[in-house]
Amino acid sequence: MSCPVCSKPTAQDWRPFCSHRCADLDLGKWMTGAYVLPANDETEEDSLPEPPITKPH
Ligand SMILES: [Zn+2]
């Protein structure tokens, strides 16, 4: 079997890939293709209006 990313011989540690690099590459490809990270969530959360806390002085 060969690496699906670069077609080099597969490494035992990184099956079915040849290296950590190729495993990462393929994972990144899979993630961006099938699983879109909700990048807006954090900024949205940040801009959420906080409930005004009015303390009597
Ligand atoms: Zn490879």
29 inside domain: yes
Q: What is the pLDDT of residue 52?
A: 83
Residue range of the domain that includes 14: 1-33
Q: How close is the Cα of 6 to the center of ligand 1, in Å?
A: 4
42 inside domain: no
13 inside domain: yes
Number of domains in the chain: 1
Q: What is the pLDDT of residue 51?
A: 82
12 inside domain: yes
pTM score: 0.50
Q: How close is the Cα of 3 to the center of ligand 1, in Å?
A: 5
20 inside domain: yes
Name the DSSP letter for residue 9: B
3-state secondary structure of 55: coil
Find tokens 């077609």 and name the residue.
Answer: 7
Instruction: Annotate 23-45 with DSSP letters as a single string.
Output: HHHHHHHHHHHH----THHHHHH
Tokens describing residue 30: 């899979």
Going residue by residue through the chain (57 aa), what tens digit of pLDDT does each one get? 899 999 999 999 999 999 999 999 988 877 666 555 556 555 555 666 778 888 887
